[in-house]
Amino acid sequence: MSDGVVFIDGEYVKPEEAKMSIFDTGFVWGDSVYDVTSAWKRYIFMLDEHLERFQQSIEGFRLTSPYSHDEMRKICAECVERAGVDNAYIKVQLTRGVISAQSRDPRLGDPQFVAYAMPYMWIWGEEKCRDGVNLFVSHVERVSSDAIDQRFKNYNRADLVQARFEAYDHGCDDALLCGPDGNLTEGPGYNVLMVRDGKVMTPKSNVLEGVTRRSVRELCELENIPYAECKISRDELNEADEIFCSTTAGGVMPVTQLDSKPIGNGHKGILTSRIQALYWSKRAEGWHGTKVEDVLNG
Amino acid sequence: MSDGVVFIDGEYVKPEEAKMSIFDTGFVWGDSVYDVTSAWKRYIFMLDEHLERFQQSIEGFRLTSPYSHDEMRKICAECVERAGVDNAYIKVQLTRGVISAQSRDPRLGDPQFVAYAMPYMWIWGEEKCRDGVNLFVSHVERVSSDAIDQRFKNYNRADLVQARFEAYDHGCDDALLCGPDGNLTEGPGYNVLMVRDGKVMTPKSNVLEGVTRRSVRELCELENIPYAECKISRDELNEADEIFCSTTAGGVMPVTQLDSKPIGNGHKGILTSRIQALYWSKRAEGWHGTKVEDVLNG
């Protein structure tokens, strides 16, 4: 376990000391939600937006947080401060908690809040996140939002893990999954966007409504690039001029191959490059950022 | 936390001491499988069958167990022995383990095996498991086996929890869920069976292939009761003469109301009663049982 600081049971501890009961129903029933943001040069990105989405996930799962929005803000900043890193991966999570062994009633849970800050991590390593990956369109179906509403960020991710295994089997870096209707959804931890005829398109439903994706939308508006959330079929994806993904742990990430076949000329796309460069230059300036110090002193 | 004994990290500990890393991907990716059996009068029910199904779940999730079948048998028996209970709820689980914070590669996991024995628990309390419950047919869809193969017993159960909440909202005891094709699947932790014109029927696909259900099938064969695994629509369920459920934590359990409307005359059905009585009388005789002492001395 690398460096970092975890807030658990009301205390700040080292990652290796951060333990939960094996009986927490957040684990045994998949009854937990989470959210992830990052600090870049000590600016926490869209902190309020991430905590607001976290609150939506909490309510969507009919959980109740023991901490207020403001308290969670402070805990996140304190984790970054104590971790002593400028660029951090920041997570908040809420589990249902332990329920008496003789009951199966989720209303009796005692929700447990955990937060932590670790050194910033790149989902595919820094180089691949910057230069591009080879994604496999998996045969594993994404869990339907009719079963588990994917707008609520949660740990029921066994489909995503098996899709990743399948991608590795095929010599690819990671996976994209289609939903029950056969249309494109998302990958394990990231949204996917495609460019066709100068227009950016991304799946509308059965996906997490990514905060990083929201920032891509904003950049598109700034740059007068058409942006649409819509249905995208498997065939339409194959006809993309460019493909890229978005997530906290990597930002705007080019996809250069699909099922080991080059997309366009096989290099990072022109629009992708532009959005990626803009994203990181703005992040470096503290775009949508909340300074760690300001939260701590606020 | 009630009494019991947990085997974790190679040691036998009290339930309140049984803790796992919050970074175990079995938790954060739902990347874990489990199985449950029971001891009744110190006979462990279908121990080898449960461990064989556990092995299928392990392989289905591309996990590897650090313990052999024989070692797991001994650990289960040792948990029951140390818990000092004659009637026990026995669980085995395997999680992917902790993966370095800088990687997302499930192949790098270090799988963690946990087992425990607790006093036997009745999923709806003993009285309701014996006399009957009121089940709600949920609007939450069961996660499709095309996304997460439900033959592999796993902790991705957020759909089941939300279905249970919905059942409570409607004044019912628990839920039944339909799959993506609209046909009946299972409930949160149990199979469902219906009786129509003297024939027992139960959903064939998108369900856990219950070991208790397998024993119901055996009892039906012994008693010359027709038994079939087949598609069951929502409408067919409404026309049932009797409905019952099966699971380790309750055995054969009557359903007397569906959506708060009586099934048949609203009392435990005749065939249900017969199968339930047979199940428990056989369990008391050590049917398909492995004596705890025999495993420990074997």
Model confidence over B73-95: pLDDT tens digits? 999 999 999 999 999 999 999 99
Is there a contact between B16 and A15 if contact means CB atoms under 8 Å apart?
no
User: Which residues face A261 on adjacent strands?
Assistant: A258
Is residue B207 in some structural domain? Answer: yes
User: Which residues face B20 on adjacent strands?
Assistant: A20
| Shortest CA distance from A16: residue in chain B | B21
At B267, is the pLDDT very low, low, confident or very high (cuts 50, 70, 90)?
A: very high
At A1, is the pLDDT very low, low, confident or very high (cuts 50, 70, 90)?
A: very low
CATH code of B254's domain: 3.20.10.10
A166 and A202 co-located in one domain: yes
CATH code of B64's domain: 3.30.470.10
User: Which residues face A194 on adjacent strands?
Assistant: A201, A243
Nearest to B159 by CA among A182, A76, A24, A158: A158
Model confidence over A5-38: pLDDT tens digits?
A: 999 999 999 999 999 999 999 999 999 999 999 9
B154 and B250 co-located in one domain: yes
Is there a contact between A31 and B159 if contact means CB atoms under 8 Å apart?
no
For residue B161, give the nearest of A31, A93, A143 by CB distance. Answer: A31
Is residue B59 in some structural domain? Answer: yes
Sign of CA dihedral B52, B59, B192, B249: positive
Q: Which residues of A2-11 are buried (b: 16+ CB within 10 A; e: fewer)?
A: eebbbbbeee
A105 and A150 co-located in one domain: no
Model confidence over A92-133: pLDDT tens digits?
A: 999 999 998 889 999 999 999 999 999 999 999 999 999 999
A99 and A240 co-located in one domain: no
Residue where a domain terminates, one of B119, B153, B170: B119
Token output for B82: 């140390």
Q: How far apart are CA A114 and CA B237, in angstroms?
A: 43
Instruction: Supply the pLDDT for residue B1.
Output: 39
**Which residues form the domain of B227?**
126-284
Q: How far apart are CA A56 and CA A61, in angstroms?
A: 9
Tally of CB atoms within 10 A around B262: 11
Spell out the SS3 assignment of A185-244. EEECCEEEEEEECCEEEEECCCCCCCHHHHHHHHHHHHCCCCEEEECCCHHHHHCCCEEE
Task: Tell me, yes or no, if A7 comes closer than 8 A to chain B by beta carbon.
Answer: no
Is residue A148 in some structural domain? Answer: yes
B196 and B135 co-located in one domain: yes
Considering only CB atoms, which chain A residues are within 8 Å of B1? 23, 98, 100-101
For residue A102, give the nearest of B2, B98, B180 by CB distance. Answer: B2
B22 and B111 co-located in one domain: yes
A183 and A44 co-located in one domain: no
Is residue B294 in some structural domain? Answer: no
Q: Which residues of A145-180 are buried (b: 16+ CB within 10 A; e: fewer)?
A: bbbbbbebbbbbbbbbbbbbbbbbeeebbbbbbbbb
Instruction: Supply the pLDDT for residue B3.
Output: 87
Which residues between 49 and 108 in chain B have a beta carbon less than 8 angstroms from any beta carbon of chain A?
A: 61-62, 89, 93, 96, 98, 100-102, 104-107
Q: Please answer whether residues A33 and A51 qualify as being in contact, where contact means their C-beta atoms are separated by less than 8 angstroms.
A: no
Q: What pTM does this model have?
A: 0.97
At B186, is the pLDDT very low, low, confident or very high (cuts 50, 70, 90)?
A: very high
A239 and A269 co-located in one domain: yes
Is residue B24 in some structural domain? Answer: yes
A111 and A186 co-located in one domain: no
Token output for A193: 């966007």
Is there a contact between A101 and B31 if contact means CB atoms under 8 Å apart?
no
Mean pLDDT of A204-222: 97
Give percent of chain A above pLDDT 70. 99
Which residues between 233 and 292 in chain A have a beta carbon less than 8 angstroms from any beta carbon of chain B?
A: none
| Shortest CA distance from B16: residue in chain A | A21
B68 and B111 co-located in one domain: yes
Residue A263, C-beta contacts closer than 8 angstroms, at least 6 positions apart: A240, A241, A242, A243, A255, A256, A257, A269
The total number of structural domains in chain A stands at: 2
CA-based max dimension of chain B? 61
**Phi and psi dihedrals of A243, rounded to 5?**
-135, 140
A31 Cα distance to chain centroid? 18
Is there a contact between B180 and A98 if contact means CB atoms under 8 Å apart?
no
A135 and A214 co-located in one domain: yes
Q: How far apart are CA B41 and CA B36, in angstroms?
A: 17
Give percent of chain B above pLDDT 70. 99
Model confidence over B225-238: pLDDT tens digits?
A: 999 999 999 999 99
A269 and A134 co-located in one domain: yes
Is residue B298 in some structural domain? Answer: no
DSSP E strands, chain A: 5-8, 11-13, 19-21, 32-40, 43-45, 88-95, 112-119, 133-137, 174-178, 184-187, 190-196, 199-203, 227-230, 242-247, 251-258, 261-262, 289-291
Instruction: Supply the pLDDT for residue B282.
Output: 97
Q: How far apart are CA B256 and CA B266, in angstroms?
A: 5
Model confidence over B103-126: pLDDT tens digits?
A: 999 999 999 999 999 999 999 999
Q: How far apart are CA B84 and CA B118, in angstroms?
A: 9
Is residue A235 in some structural domain? Answer: yes
For residue A146, give the nearest of B100, B102, B141 by CB distance. Answer: B141
Give the DSSP letter string of A137-159.
Answer: E-SSPPPPTTTS-TTS-BS--HH
Is residue B296 in some structural domain? Answer: no
Helix (H) or strand (E) holding B169: helix B158-169
This model of the complex carries an ipTM of 0.97
Terminal Cα distance for chain B, rounded: 32
Degrees to nearest 5, angle at CA B63 with B61 and B67:
135
Model confidence over A3-12: pLDDT tens digits?
A: 899 999 999 9
| Average pLDDT score over chain B | 97
Q: How far apart are CA B72 and CA B50, in angstroms?
A: 11
Residue where a domain terminates, one of A119, A154, A170: A119
Q: How far apart are CA B138 and CA B202, in angstroms?
A: 17
Model confidence over B147-156: pLDDT tens digits?
A: 999 999 999 9
Residue where a domain terminates, one of A53, A84, A119: A119
Q: How far apart are CA A71 and CA A102, in angstroms?
A: 33
